[in-house]
């Protein structure tokens, strides 16, 4: 517990905004909006320029983006960080894919009886199933939480949190997910990063980095 408190204390620029997001999101869903109203309130606030912007922003949470981060870390030969980040990606992938197929929740396009209520972007393919939770949002928050934890500039944590929120917003804007999908995804991603990071830091796991380093030596 002491280690967790220390970790939070060193990264307040990320975790305070995150906790505000968790509380605010819960209040909005419980007291102010229904499932449908919250989605429509966000999805229907659209503009042509935002269609283009959100189409690009949503790739922040793509697995390819996380893979690029892994490649950069590997190029810098930060073996322990590479294994830490890779473990996070594996964990969130397992959790999200298991939940998606277990709940098999319909996405907005299949949920609403009148699809004309939904704003879609014509060049974006809108999916219909496995809505809960949002994989893009989970991946984005996992990545940005990890970056906040390893960054020497702790103020950057606020920027990382903002980027995670923008990625989450884009998923609703593009009619791919409901608010609850991105809300829970953000929590899964953040907690997964914290869990794996603490595991590496507390237990000083050396076996994984050594395996990775041996693999790199073999390739060189």
**Domains of the chain, residue spans:** 2-219
CB 119 within 8 A of CB 46: yes
Please tell me what DSSP assigns to residue 129: S
pTM of the entire predicted model: 0.90
CB 109 within 8 A of CB 130: no
Q: What is the pLDDT of residue 215?
A: 45
| Backbone angles phi and psi of 127, in degrees to 5 | -85, 165
50: how many CB neighbours lie within 10 A of its CB? 16
Distance, CA of 14 to CA of 51 (rounded, Å): 28
**Rg of the chain's alpha carbons, rounded to an integer?**
18
Low-confidence ranges of the chain (pLDDT < 50): 205, 208, 211, 214-220
How does 80-102 read in b/e, with b if 16+ C-beta sit within 10 Å? bbbbbbbbbbebbbebbeebbee
152: how many CB neighbours lie within 10 A of its CB? 5
Torsion of CA 6, 9, 11, 13, to 10 degrees: 170
Q: What is the pLDDT of residue 217?
A: 46
CATH code of 2-219, in short, is: 1.20.144
């Amino acid at each position: 517990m002491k280690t967790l408190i220390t970790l939070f204390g060193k990264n307040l620029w990320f975790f305070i905004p995150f906790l505000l997001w968790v509380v605010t999101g819960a209040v909005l869903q419980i007291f102010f909006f229904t499932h449908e109203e919250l989605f429509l309130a966000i999805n229907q606030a659209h503009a042509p320029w935002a269609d283009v912007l959100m189409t690009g922003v949503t790739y922040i949470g793509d697995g390819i983006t996380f893979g690029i981060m892994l490649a950069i870390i590997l190029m810098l030969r930060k073996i322990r960080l590479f294994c830490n980040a890779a473990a996070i990606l594996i964990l969130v992938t397992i959790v999200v894919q298991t939940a998606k197929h277990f709940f098999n929740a319909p996405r907005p396009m299949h949920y609403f009886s009148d699809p004309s209520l939904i704003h879609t972007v014509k060049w974006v393919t809108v999916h219909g199933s496995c809505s809960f939770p949002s994989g893009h949002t989970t991946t984005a928050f996992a990545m940005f939480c990890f970056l906040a934890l390893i960054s020497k500039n702790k103020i950057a944590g606020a920027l990382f949190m903002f980027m995670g929120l923008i990625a989450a917003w884009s998923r609703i804007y593009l009619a791919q997910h409901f608010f609850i999908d991105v809300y829970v995804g953000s929590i899964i991603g953040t907690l997964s990063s914290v869990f794996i990071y603490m595991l590496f830091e507390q237990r000083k796991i050396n076996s994984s980095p050594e395996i990775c380093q041996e693999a790199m030596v073999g390739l060189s």
